[in-house]
């Protein structure tokens, strides 16, 4: 049957790198077309944290439990990067909610390529942008007086762990977006970054956290991401913390991806 052949042909052709690149370019172009929202706003709070917290709370670095010889600005520099990547992460979720509202999502659902490639491309574009944030915030920390002993190592760890965590964390926004088709709901999730950060060693070392919070911080990947980035800034590669960070990111990635899949199925069942 002629139409059946056409179906088979189309199915085989759509998985091309060109399709991915087109969707990736679209996501990047979309983000750049609203630079204030996607490129500037997510950097304001982290830079505020760096410059204000670093000075207001400078004396706490002298409290026993903080690593010796490390200023508070240097201590929180990794959490500043992580805050930036978490604040910049809901873009795919918000864009997908807009696609659902305008009907563009249905346009993609009806095409042989489906929506999967667009979401992968969007998350890749988010990863690129969040990697850029990691670089900007690392440089901002240096400008603010945080010593960077080994630039390639510091930037490499910040970019890989910071961007990867941001992309994984953004899965929560994407899942909520697919479930509710509502951009406001996704935006309402933005403040979640704060408890995630507070329940880690991002702002305060483990010994200074209350016991119950220490338990949570031990299972919070952000603790290991910050530890790894802090060591890299000091010129050392902390293998144990880095592997734990990567494992935590991977586990969180699986969890958020399951949520995304469940929401996608919900959307398909409507």
Q: Which positions lie near another protein, rule CB under 8 A?
A: 1, 3, 6-7, 10-16, 18-19, 22-23, 26, 29-30, 33-34, 99, 102-104, 106-113, 117, 268-270
Structure tokens belonging to residue 160 = 């890989």
Residue closer to another protein, measured from CB, 104 or 151: 104
| CA pair distance 51, 259, nearest whole angstrom | 36
Contact assessment for residue 159 and residue 167, using Cβ atoms and an 8 Å cutoff:
no
Minimum CB separation of residue 188 from another protein in Å reads: 22
Residue closer to another protein, measured from CB, 96 or 228: 96
Residue closer to another protein, measured from CB, 38 or 89: 38
| CA pair distance 178, 118, nearest whole angstrom | 13
For residue 130, report the phi and psi dihedrals to the nearest 5 degrees. Answer: -70, -30
| CA pair distance 91, 119, nearest whole angstrom | 11
Minimum CB separation of residue 31 from another protein in Å reads: 10
| CA pair distance 87, 37, nearest whole angstrom | 11
CA atoms within 13 Å, Cβ hemisphere of 222: 30
Residue closer to another protein, measured from CB, 10 or 67: 10
Residue closer to another protein, measured from CB, 102 or 240: 102
Residue closer to another protein, measured from CB, 48 or 266: 266
Minimum CB separation of residue 189 from another protein in Å reads: 23
Minimum CB separation of residue 7 from another protein in Å reads: 5
Structure tokens belonging to residue 96 = 């997908």
Beta bridge partners of 66: 64
Minimum CB separation of residue 261 from another protein in Å reads: 16
Beta bridge partners of 64: 66
Of 75, 79, 80, the C-alpha closest to 58 is 75
| CA pair distance 158, 153, nearest whole angstrom | 8
Helix (H) or strand (E) holding 252: helix 239-269
| CA pair distance 136, 21, nearest whole angstrom | 25
Minimum CB separation of residue 10 from another protein in Å reads: 5
Beta bridge partners of 242: none
Residue closer to another protein, measured from CB, 5 or 59: 5
Structure tokens belonging to residue 69 = 């010889």
Minimum CB separation of residue 131 from another protein in Å reads: 23
């Amino acid at each position: 049957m002629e139409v059946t052949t056409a179906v088979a042909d189309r199915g085989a052709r759509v998985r091309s790198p060109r399709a991915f690149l087109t969707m990736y370019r679209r996501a990047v172009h979309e983000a750049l077309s609203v630079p204030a929202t996607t490129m500037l706003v997510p950097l304001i709070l982290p830079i505020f944290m760096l410059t204000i917290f670093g000075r207001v709370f400078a004396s706490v670095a002298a409290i026993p439990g903080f690593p010796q010889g490390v200023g508070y600005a240097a201590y929180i520099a990794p959490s500043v990067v992580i805050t930036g990547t978490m604040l910049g992460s809901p873009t795919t979720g918000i864009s997908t909610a807009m696609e659902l509202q305008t009907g563009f999502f249905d346009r993609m659902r009806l095409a042989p390529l489906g929506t999967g490639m667009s979401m992968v491309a969007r998350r890749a574009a988010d990863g690129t942008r969040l990697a850029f944030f990691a670089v900007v915030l690392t440089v901002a920390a240096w400008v603010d007086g945080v010593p960077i002993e080994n630039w390639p190592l510091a930037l490499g760890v910040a970019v890989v762990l910071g961007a990867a965590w941001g992309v994984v964390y953004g899965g929560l926004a994407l899942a909520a977006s697919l479930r509710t088709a509502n951009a406001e709901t996704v935006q309402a999730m933005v403040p979640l970054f704060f408890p995630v950060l507070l329940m880690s060693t991002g702002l305060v070392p483990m010994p200074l956290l209350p016991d119950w919070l220490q338990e949570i911080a031990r299972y919070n990947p952000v603790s290991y991401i910050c530890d790894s980035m802090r060591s890299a800034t000091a010129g050392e590669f902390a293998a144990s913390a880095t592997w734990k960070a990567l494992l935590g990111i991977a586990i969180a990635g699986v969890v958020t991806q399951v949520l995304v899949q469940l929401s996608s199925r919900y959307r398909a069942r409507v």
